[in-house]
Each structure stands twice: as structure tokens, then as C-alpha cells.
Structure 1
Amino acid sequence: MDGAVSGAGSREGAPGGAPLPADPARPHANPWPIVAVTCIGAAMGQFDASVVQLALPDLAVVFDTRETLASWVALSYVLAFSAALPVFGRLCAMFGRKRLYLAGMVVFILASALCGIATSLPELIVYRIIQGIGGASLGANSIVILNQAAGKALRARAMGYFSAAQAVGVSLGPIAGGLLLGFFGWQAIFWVTVPIGLLGAVAGWLVLPDDTERDRQPFDWQGALLLGPSLVCLVIVLNHIADWGIASLPALAFGIGGIVLLACFILREKRTPSPLIDLGIFASKPFSLGVVAVLLSYALLYGMFYLMSYAAIRGLHEPPERAGLRLSAIPIALGIAAPFAGALVKRHGTATLALFGMALAAAALLTLSLVALEPIPSRTIGMIALAVFGAGLGFFMAPNNSATMGAAPARFAGEAGAMINLARMLGVSLGIASSASMLRWRTEVITGATGDTVFFYGHPMLGAVETSFGLLFGLALVAATATWWRRRVAPDA
């Protein structure tokens, strides 16, 4: 997934005897086995994230709880990942990328097995947190490892393969997840990642190069203790604002608390000589805009997964197997489009391809909002719209990721990959939490519920999903605006 947020490659002439980083422009003699290993980890992480999305409606029924509470099975993982990613970014720079990459894989495997034997919702959420911590150790390495192995000349092509691998993982999630849910139950969706993780661990041990560079600067524990709680508070507000109300005491307390903690974190990072996240990376406006676009694109992807899971299972009464096939249209199209987008970057430019992709995604969202409540044959149109949505994100993500990496200042080569990955996970959190709140709010408006109703099916659910697409359309417009702005400040990007 990604590289150190504040690693050895970030500082010139670092004190404490820290060696200067390897030049990322000097590629490995044969980078593709290394790229393949990072792709295994990327596919595994995306498989796990997408397969859980499909299971959320079933988990809400199994544990007899509201949709917003069941969504914490997904949110707990991405929040733990996001909070731990900067921590492991520094630890990887201090103790070695390969070592902690493999350790993270082991933790991920063990936590996956524990999720498969969980007997309650709180227990499952705790194991998902552990799984997210393991995933963060993987994520603190992969894009930096890929970038250093491929070099500048092959970076766009390697990122295309990386995006395609993620799409393969996301594609297999709904398909395999639907079959596993239908025939074996929700526990099987966690057990299936165990052999994938074992394969990734063996491949990583054999292929990844040993790194000897170490960053000897002290670890920023105060920054780590401020960042995690701030993210948790803000996502809690996003996820439960429909349950509590925007002016309620819990919403205000968590919202203000999250903002204050985040402000304290920013002040801490500006003052400490060895920050957890070196905020100087955001001095590059093209890079900052690219990070915003990355965040929003993943919010779109996982917001769509969340909404369509409920639309298919609760609204259309489809079994998990068929619902999984329906959702797979998105990542399959994304996986097909991403390599083409990476190959077309030199001819058309990253911003042009990204704007074209987001225009496709926005058009698909408008189409879905018009046909969601219509009878067959509009379901065929809906499937086409889902595929167009996925293709649009494929044309957007790969060029935007490559351009964002290239826009980072040279001394922040390590941090750039990590910030992209952190933006991805924060985008997943934003997409799931905001979609859960929007869906909850719209269902209460449509059904006149008082908040006590947990489950409802059929036409009201489809109506709630249809109007919730407006949220995703708004996110698409903001992502397109950020990309257009980046093209204005950096025309060659």
C-alpha cells in the first residue's frame, strides 16, 4: 500500500547519523517482481475492504443493530489503519521496511482468523481494529517500495498495475463474498484472507530487498497520541449525525473535540524537529490538491459500495451471490480502465484523463439516481451505469496517483506515498460514514421513522439510496474541481 509518512527519505543531512535516502529516480534492475509483491498486499487489503461492505446488511441483521452501528465493522478497520499508518511510517524508517512489512502481514493474518471466530459485534470490531493495525504496517511501505523499485520512468506504468491489482481485489470481494455469504455465512469472508496473506508473506520474504538505511531521529509519541483520537472523533460525528442530530450534545462534543485535537496535532507537528507527519510536504499546491482528489475518489468508491449493498440486498431482495455480481461491475471496469489510463498519460496528460474519468463517474451517478426505482429493464441500464462509474474512477485514480507522487517535493519522496495511502483510507472512512448517515436520514424521512426502526426493505430502501446518490455526486464535483485547479497551477501535470 504505502510508504513512510515521515521516513528516512524525507530529510536532507538528517542528524543523528541518519543516512541520506536512496535516489528514487534510480530504479531497481528488475523492478517487476517487487511491484508484484506490493500488488499482492494491495489486492488483499482491497479484497478485505470490499467483501466487508457486502456483508454489512447481513451483519446488521445477525447482530440485531442499526445500519450506522453495523458500519463500524468497516470503519473500525479503516480508522485503525489511518491512525496507525503514520506511526508505522516512522517505525519502518527506524527499523526497516521489509521487517515491518512482514510483521504487519502476520498480524493481519492472525486478526483475520480472529474475526472469523467472533461471537458479538463489539468483539468483531476489536479484531477489526487489530486487523487495521496490521494493514497499516503493510501500508507504510508498499507505494514507497514500488516507487523506488520502478523509478520515475516506469512509475506511471507501475502505478497502473498497482491500481489494477487493487481493482482485482475489490472485484473479487463482491463475487467471492457473495458466494461465501450465501453458502458459508459471514465468518467465511474473514477466513478467506488467511491463505492470501500467507502467500503475500512468503513472497515478500523472498522478493523484497533488505534495506539497511535507518532514521535515528526520535519518535513523535505526542503527535501519535493526538492524531488517532482526532480522526476517531470526527468519523464518529460523520457516522452518527443522522442518529444524534447535528446540534445534539454528542455531535457537538465529538465534533469540537476532534477539531481541537487535530489543531493541537498540527501545532505539534510544526514545532517538533522530528514530526510524525512533516507538514512541509503540503507546500506543493499540486500535491495537496492531488491528495484531496485521492481522498474524494475513494470516498466515492466505498460510498457507492455501501449504498449499493443495501440497495441490492434490502431494496431489490437479491441473495448475496447475485448482489455480489452486481457490485463487481464497478471494480472490474475500474481494473480494466486503470492500466489504459496509465498508458495514455504521456499522450493526453494526467489532468485531462482524470477530468474525463470523473465526468464519466458523475454521469453514471445521475443515471443511477434516475433508474434506481424503476422496474426491469432499467436494472440492465443500472448495471451499465455501475460499470461506467467504475471505468470513470479507473481513468481518474491511476493518472491522479501518478501526478500526485510526481508533484511532491523531491526531499519528501517517502512521505508522498504514505500521504496518498493515508488519503485513501480517510476517503474510505468519509465515504462509508457519510453514506451511512445519509442513508439513515433518508430512510427516516421516507418512512417517517422515529429512530427505533432498525430494518426496512423494498421500495423505501431504494428511495433512500436513490436520493443518497446526491451526496456522491457532490463529492464527484469537488474532486473534479480539485483536479481542474491542479491543472491551472501545474499545467504540465
Structure 2
Amino acid sequence: MENQLKQDIIIIAAASLAALHGAYIGNVTPIALPQMATVFGLSNIMQNWVTNIFLLTMAIFAIPFGKLCGKYGIKKTFLWSLILMLIGTIGTPLSNTIPLLFLFRIIQGIGGAGLCVDTILMITEAITTTNRGQALGINVSCVYIGIALAPVIGGILTYHYGWASIFWIMVPVMIINIILLLFIKDEWIKGANEKFDWKGSTIFAVGILLLIYGFSTLNTIQGLIITLIGIILLILFAKMEINTNQPAFDINLYKNKKFLSSNLASILSYIATFVVTTILNYNLQYIRGFNTEITGLLLIVTPLMMAIVSPFSGKLSDKFDPQKISAIGMGIVTIGLLLIIPLNKTTPLYVIIISMFLQGIGYGLFASPNVNTIMSSVPPKDTPMASSAVATMRIIGQTASVGILTTIFALIMGNVIIKPSNFPGLIFSSQITLLITTIISILCVLMCLIGYKSGDKLFTDSKRIDK
């Protein structure tokens, strides 16, 4: 019993540390984008792609990784994901051209996709459902600690030591994570004898690539065509998976209304909230003229509140209906977003801080219970696919969130270098984006309530029987 407790602690620690540095890597670039734009000569559109290329790569690999993790071992794929993340994190600051910069961001994205799937899946497999919500709450809290550290550490390091330092600081953390993982004795393999659906995975990868890339250029005819082709391929993927005995992803899982509603709520929540940090960063640095150090300290408010609230909301979701808690959380997020729709140079700083405070509390209440709903609404044999769904919804939502801003930039500002003469366009683009994300946040609340009122049940310990 004591040895198992030690293993559980190591498992939660390894998964949570990976969640922390994965979140940091995914969220640290916006604070350094103005400096990176100067070094690499990046336009406003290309700046967004420094973040987007990482997220896009994660979106492509998240579904295949769910199947691969179960087939070849969760711990083994976790280790290789960490190694890829380490290689990408070393290579990114060594890049001296835009193609090299994007190449190593892609390598980081492949590793990040594996970590997104493995961290949640390992906790789900190792921790009993009576304590799973609390364990997932700790994991989600570390995600937000990583997000909180990103603008603060990134801002200070960029200001004093340059943009490359924001990546170097994570190298020893990743090495420690690899060492910690080696102390885990157990391995979890699910579906070792199942064939990997290469055809379905390839169609999904191409479809999601075209959808996200096309969406980012939706203001052009070419972008519209690419987006439509991406949608058609994803529909084809769904139809293929329904008729496949060993699918890359079991579409039938979405017949469960709790699984469906919580996944839709997840993607809507990320669309509504992820881009807000980028918008506030642009407002603070470009419009108000704050340096990266001050900007980073201000941007800590939202993720810090998320990190504080998430463990408690995760524990609550073990006792009360998690989707009810999620709905309350996204309601608070919506109020926070409403406050900053008219964001401009004269918006009082205290209004921005109150908005970030509300968003942090609200999303902290939403995230852990929503993940718990997704992972608890499927039988044990399908947890790898459920974990893939968590990662995929997160990544698609984040990418779509940045894609909305990129599209609005293209429509209102064009592909330009951000400078004072373009500040009015930057402000208007931000306001339009915030209006859209607020509406999406309201839709997320409704989706949580739909799932809460559904008759489908969550799997408890007594019901979680492997088939």
C-alpha cells in the first residue's frame, strides 16, 4: 500500500511537471513576439504563426498518439515525447532563420502532442476514480502554473537576456522530468494487438492541417477552398472510423451526450479564452508601451487564479456533477470577457485586471471538472481515445482562437508590420475578436448545461469494468 502510494505520487509529479513545462512552451512565445519580429523580420501574420505552428503540429498528432500510447505503452511514449520536446526546445533558440525556427517549433509540437495525451492518460490509468478528479485538478493546476510562469519568466528573460533565453530555462526542467519518469515501475498497454489505422490517421492529419491553415487565411478565396477541403476530409475520416473495426478514433463515443457536450464545451472554451492573452499582450506592449517585464507581471493574474482554483474544482467534481461546476465557471469567464470588449488605450488598467481575475477563477472552475467528465464518460478500454479527445479539443480550440485573430488581422489590417500608424487597426481587430470570443463563451455555458441535463451516466469505480 505504501509502495503504491509512492508510485502514485511519482506518477502525478511526472505528469504534472510535464504539463507545466508543456504549457509554458506553448504560451511563452507571445510575450517575446515583438522582439522575435525584430530579429526575424516577422509581419503581424507571421508572428501569430510562431504560436500557431506549434499548436497545429499538436493538433495533427494528438489523435494518432492516443492509439499509439495505448498500443506501445503510455510510459514509453511519454519518454519519447519528452525527448522530442527537449530536442525542439534546444533547437528553437539556436535557430537563425525562419524555416529553422518553424522546424524546431514543429518538433516541439510533436513532443507536446504526446505529452498532452500521456499526462492525462497516465493519471486516469493509475489513479482510482474516487480520487481522479483531485489528481486531474493538480495536473490542470500545473498547466496553469506553466501558463502563469510563461509571461512572467518570459517577460523578465526577454527584457534582460533576449528571446532565446525563454527556451533555455526549460531544458534542465525537461531533463529532470525524464529522470523522474524512469522511477515509474508500471507500464500501461491497451490494445497491443490492435492494428494501427494509418489510413484514417493520415486523412485526419491532412484534414486538420488544411482546416486550420485554411481558416487562418479565410479572407482569401484560396483559404476558403482549403478550409472546405479540410472539412470534407474530416467528414470522410468520421465516416471511415464508424465502419472500421479498429479505428484510430472511435466516433461512436460521441453517442454519449456527456462525452459529446463536454468535448464541445472544451473546444468552445479554448476558442473563447486562449487568444485573450495575445490580445492583452499586444495592448500592453504596443498600445500602452509597457516593456516585456511589466507586461509579464500583469499577465500573471489569469493563470495564477486558474492554478489556485483548479485543484479545488477537481476535488469538487469527485462529489458533485462536474458539468454543473463547469457551467458556473464559464459563466464567470463570460462576465470577465464582457468587461474588456471595448479594450483600447484608455481602458483603465484596473478593469483589465478585474477581467483577468474573473477569467482565472471561472476557467479554474471549468477545466478540471470538464476533463473529469470526458475521462469518466467512457469505459476503461477507451480511455486512450478519450485522452486524445481532450488533447485534440484543446489544441484545435487554441489554434482556432489564434486563427480568428489572424483572420481578423488580415481582413482589417492586412499583412503588415505592427507600428504606430497601424495601432487603430490593431485596437479595432482586438475589439472584434473579443466580441466574437464572448459570444462563444456563452455558447460554452449552454453546452455544459445540455450535458448536465442529459440522462447519460459517468463511470464510477463499480462500473469501470474492462471488456
Of the structure 1 ranges 259-268 and 113-122, higher mean CA displacement relative to structure 2 is found in 259-268
Q: Deviations over 1:54-77 (max 9, x none)?
A: 223333333223222221111111
Shift of 1:387: 1.5
Shift of 1:489: 1.0
The corresponding residue for 2:334 is 362
Partners of 1:291 and 1:122 in 2: how far apart? 34
Shift of the 28–294 alpha-carbon distance from structure 1 to 2, 3 Å rule, reads farther
Shift of 1:140: 3.0
- Is the counterpart of residue 467 in structure 1 residue 432 in structure 2? yes
SS of the aligned residue for 1:80 comes to helix
SS of the aligned residue for 2:295 comes to helix
Shift of 1:371: 5.3
Partners of 1:336 and 1:481 in 2: how far apart? 25
Partners of 1:335 and 1:311 in 2: how far apart? 24
Shift of 1:87: 2.2
In structure 1, stretches of 5+ residues that fail to align are 1-26, 445-450
- Is the counterpart of residue 390 in structure 1 residue 355 in structure 2? no
Match of 1:296 among 264, 268, 273: 268
SS of the aligned residue for 2:300 comes to helix
Identity of aligned residues (%): 22
- Is the counterpart of residue 486 in structure 1 residue 451 in structure 2? yes
- Is the counterpart of residue 258 in structure 1 residue 230 in structure 2? yes
The corresponding residue for 1:53 is 30
The corresponding residue for 1:202 is 179
SS of the aligned residue for 1:416 comes to helix
Partners of 2:63 and 2:120 in 1: how far apart? 14
Q: Deviations over 1:215-260 (max 9, x none)?
A: 1122211112111111111111222224x3xxx2x12321122122
> One-letter code of the match for 2:44?
E
The corresponding residue for 2:125 is 148
Of the structure 1 ranges 402-411 and 307-316, higher mean CA displacement relative to structure 2 is found in 402-411
- Is the counterpart of residue 456 in structure 1 residue 419 in structure 2? yes
The corresponding residue for 1:33 is 10
- Is the counterpart of residue 338 in structure 1 residue 310 in structure 2? yes
Of the structure 1 ranges 461-470 and 191-200, higher mean CA displacement relative to structure 2 is found in 461-470
The corresponding residue for 2:378 is 408
Check whether the contact 1:314–1:461 (CA below 8 A) recurs between aligned residues. no
Check whether the contact 2:10–2:183 (CA below 8 A) recurs between aligned residues. no
Match of 2:136 among 159, 162, 186: 159
Partners of 1:213 and 1:389 in 2: how far apart? 37
Q: TM-score, normalised by structure 1?
A: 0.87
> One-letter code of the match for 1:340?
F
Shift of the 387–297 alpha-carbon distance from structure 1 to 2, 3 Å rule, reads same
Of the structure 1 ranges 154-163 and 262-271, higher mean CA displacement relative to structure 2 is found in 262-271
Check whether the contact 1:307–1:439 (CA below 8 A) recurs between aligned residues. no
Check whether the contact 1:81–1:425 (CA below 8 A) recurs between aligned residues. yes
Q: Deviations over 1:84-130 (max 9, x none)?
A: 12222222222222122111111110111110111122221111111
- Is the counterpart of residue 316 in structure 1 residue 316 in structure 2? no
SS of the aligned residue for 2:187 comes to coil
> One-letter code of the match for 1:151?
T
Partners of 1:28 and 1:205 in 2: how far apart? 16
> One-letter code of the match for 2:366?
F
Shift of 1:460: 4.7
The corresponding residue for 1:16 is none
Shift of the 112–346 alpha-carbon distance from structure 1 to 2, 3 Å rule, reads closer
SS of the aligned residue for 1:141 comes to helix
Shift of the 200–311 alpha-carbon distance from structure 1 to 2, 3 Å rule, reads same
The corresponding residue for 1:428 is 398
> One-letter code of the match for 1:386?
M
Kindly tell me the number of residue pairs found equivalent between the two proteins.
453
Shift of 1:213: 5.8
Match of 1:230 among 187, 207, 211: 207
SS of the aligned residue for 1:369 comes to coil
The corresponding residue for 1:12 is none
SS of the aligned residue for 1:218 comes to coil
The corresponding residue for 1:132 is 109
The corresponding residue for 1:381 is 351
Shift of the 214–252 alpha-carbon distance from structure 1 to 2, 3 Å rule, reads closer
> One-letter code of the match for 2:241?
E
Of the structure 1 ranges 141-150 and 411-420, higher mean CA displacement relative to structure 2 is found in 411-420
Shift of 1:492: 7.2
Shift of the 92–322 alpha-carbon distance from structure 1 to 2, 3 Å rule, reads same
SS of the aligned residue for 1:210 comes to coil
> One-letter code of the match for 1:36?
A
Shift of 1:463: 3.9
Shift of 1:41: 0.7
> One-letter code of the match for 1:465?
S
The corresponding residue for 1:114 is 91
Match of 2:51 among 60, 71, 74: 74
Check whether the contact 1:66–1:454 (CA below 8 A) recurs between aligned residues. yes
Shift of the 340–94 alpha-carbon distance from structure 1 to 2, 3 Å rule, reads closer
> One-letter code of the match for 2:435?
G
Shift of the 315–64 alpha-carbon distance from structure 1 to 2, 3 Å rule, reads same
CA RMSD of aligned residues (A): 2.1
The corresponding residue for 1:276 is 248
Q: Deviations over 1:329-371 (max 9, x none)?
A: 1100111111222233356532332222111111111111245
Shift of 1:169: 0.6
Partners of 1:208 and 1:106 in 2: how far apart? 19
Check whether the contact 1:161–1:339 (CA below 8 A) recurs between aligned residues. yes
Partners of 1:90 and 1:158 in 2: how far apart? 23
> One-letter code of the match for 1:194?
V
Partners of 2:245 and 2:323 in 1: how far apart? 35
Check whether the contact 2:258–2:456 (CA below 8 A) recurs between aligned residues. no
Shift of the 459–256 alpha-carbon distance from structure 1 to 2, 3 Å rule, reads closer
Shift of the 28–427 alpha-carbon distance from structure 1 to 2, 3 Å rule, reads farther
The corresponding residue for 1:15 is none
Q: Deviations over 1:199-222 (max 9, x none)?
A: 110001113523466511222111
